[in-house]
Amino acid sequence: GSSPVPAQLCSSSAAALQQVQFCWPPGCWVWTRGADRTRYSCRSGPVGFQMFVQLKELVMDQNQDLQWRESGRWTGSEDQETAHIVPLSVHSLLVLQKLLSHGAVLLDLQQSSLGGVAQQVVERLLDGEQVRAGDGDNLLRTLLLSHTQSHQSKEINLKLQNKQMLISPCAVTAGSVGFLDRPFLAFVRLQEAVLLDSVLEVSVPVRFLFLLLGPPTASLEYHQIGRSVSTLMADQVFQEAAYRAESQQDLLMAVDRFLERSVLLPPPDASREELLLSAPRFQGETLQNSLVPFKSAEAPLRRSGRLFGGLIQDVTRRYPQYLSDIQDALNPQCMAAIIFIYFAALSPAITFGGLLGEKTEGLIGVSELIVATAMQGIVFSILGAQPLLVIGFSGPLLVFEEAFYTFCKDNDIEYLTGRVWIGFWLVLIVFITVALEGSILVRFVSRFTQEIFSFLISLIFIYETFAKLVKVSPGAC
């Protein structure tokens, strides 16, 4: 907008004061014209800016010295050298995904120089044993090699100024060196955007860096992998993921989302090239069906930071599919599954109902448990946005009911009255848990915890079996 941005949210770079102003989000710069008056064009999030990505590769100059030289630049999904949508190699994307899963990811790195960033990357690679200990110095020198600028540098700056683009720069470097025995990929997101001398063609601070190096080999095309990295960073969905990522897994999920929205074209038949004309329409339908902006709120086990935030997210995510879940069940092919689920819900109610009637001396039996299970299942299916979830009585509840009935009997308390009060307290506890998003604690429950709990329940039932045998043995004799 045209309204001024608060001073605490914006600062200026002395090296580029007449060209750019720094504003939110961190690393996002807007080009302005005129030195007498500063105008801001900021937005409240990473949506709305364009990522300016520059790919540099390791080449030899006329003096046989290695240097980093530009081989491409991207704004949005277009390669600025060709002004066309970038076609990518499927193999390069798969290799990129594999390298990223084993690579070094440094998030919110607090460094203000290229040397500091390179030193941190080398140390992380050495710690992860991705680079041999003796290659650390050579790798550091390679990362700090000089960056040559093309004759179009001034033209690029001028174009960006004329367009008044809201940009976020990213530097991608790719190349091969003989001293490495295997390739590596490092992703760096700086805590704050910093001006790295001669790294980019434009005089703006950099927030993101991708570093790709490896040994010369015919099986890896570093240029194609570098183009894939650059295209990823130019993609708006991946940009948001890169800004919000909290771990390496978040970046891998963003790569998966990019692959889901991509269309693979098989090798065309030269005599039937007209078949390729259907590709844009197919890709458009695919994007329309699958393109969903990345949101951190989509992670079900991540705290939103507001009251009932998890409940709101669940409703937003699940209720659009609520009607289709019910309609799909009306298909005749689902009849076998419906019958199976019916008996899967009915059998525990009958089995545990008989045991519960014995434990509570007939206060709660099979009839009560069947009615309670039916009512609970109906209410939960209608309001829980998950009609396919099966709910029923289980062993732990039987153990609890037996212990509570014994407690009430020993203390002269009405069992059913106490059971009603337990229901009220459960409602209150669940309400507070939902309000404070306590369900995210489920991520700390491992399989080991589940197995220990199952072992405890099994042990209780085994004990009950032998206790009954001992109890009835005198009468049997």
Q: What is the rounded distance in angstroms from the CA atom of residue 185 to the CA atom of residue 91? A: 16
Tell me the C-alpha distance between 229 and 212, whole Å: 9
d(CA 58, CA 212) in angstroms, rounded, equals 10
Distance from C-alpha of 321 to C-alpha of 386, rounded to nearest angstrom: 9
Superfamily of domain 49-278: Mannitol-specific EII; Chain A (3.40.930.10)
C-beta neighbour count of 53 within 10 angstroms = 29
Coil, helix or strand at residue 174: strand
CA dihedral 32, 36, 37, 42 (to 10 degrees): 20
* Averaged pLDDT, groups of 10, the chain, 477 residues long: 35 35 38 33 43 83 81 63 63 89 90 89 89 88 81 56 59 89 91 80 82 86 88 86 89 90 68 53 52 48 82 81 79 85 86 89 91 86 68 83 92 93 93 89 77 82 82 65
Of the CA atoms within 13 Å of residue 79, those in its CB half-sphere come to 17
Cα 135 to Cα 127: distance, rounded to the nearest angstrom: 13
Distance CA 291, CA 316 (A): 17
Per-residue pLDDT at 438: 86
Q: What is the pLDDT of residues 128-139, one digit of tens each?
A: 888 888 888 899
Q: Is 40 helix (H, G, I), strand (E, B) or coil?
A: coil
Quote the CA–CA distance of 362 and 357 in Å, as a whole number.
4
119 is written with which tokens? 């030193």
Q: What is the pLDDT of residue 152?
A: 59
Token pair in block for residue 394: 């289980």
User: Could you give the residue range(s) of every CATH 3.40.930.10 domain in the chain?
Assistant: 49-278
State both tokens at 81: 């050298």
Q: Give CA–CA dist 79/89, Å, rounded.
A: 15
244, two tokens: 């919000």
Strands 104-109 and 28-31: unpaired
What was the pLDDT predicted at 327? 82
Distances (CA, A) of 195 to 149, 165, 259: 15, 18, 32
Residue 424 tokens, joined? 């009220």
Tokens standing for 311?
């409940």
Tens of pLDDT, residues 280-301: 554 555 555 544 444 444 556 6
**Rounded Cα–Cα distance for residues 221 and 235 (Å):** 21
Q: For position 16, what pLDDT does the model report?
A: 35
* Pairwise CA distance, residues 41 & 418, whole Å: 63
Q: Which pLDDT score is estimated for 106?
A: 92
pLDDT 10s digits, 187-242: 999 988 888 877 776 777 888 999 999 998 877 888 888 888 888 888 888 888 88
Beta strands, E only, 76-156: 78-79, 84-85, 104-109
How far is the C-alpha of 257 from the C-alpha of 293, rounded, in Å? Answer: 10
Tokens for 53, please give them: 């990505």
Q: What is the per-residue pLDDT for 8?
A: 33
Asked if 86 and 77 touch (Cβ cutoff 8 Å), the reply is: yes
pTM of the model: 0.50
Which CB contacts under 8 angstroms, 24+ apart, belong to 220-225? Answer: 220/95, 220/176, 220/183, 221/89, 221/92, 222/57, 222/174, 222/175, 222/176, 222/183, 223/57, 223/71, 223/174, 224/88, 224/89, 224/91, 224/92, 225/92, 225/95, 225/96, 225/99, 225/174
- How many residues does this entry show for the chain? 477
What angle, 0 to 180 degrees and rounded to 10, lies between the N-to-C axes of helices 335-359 and 395-410? 20
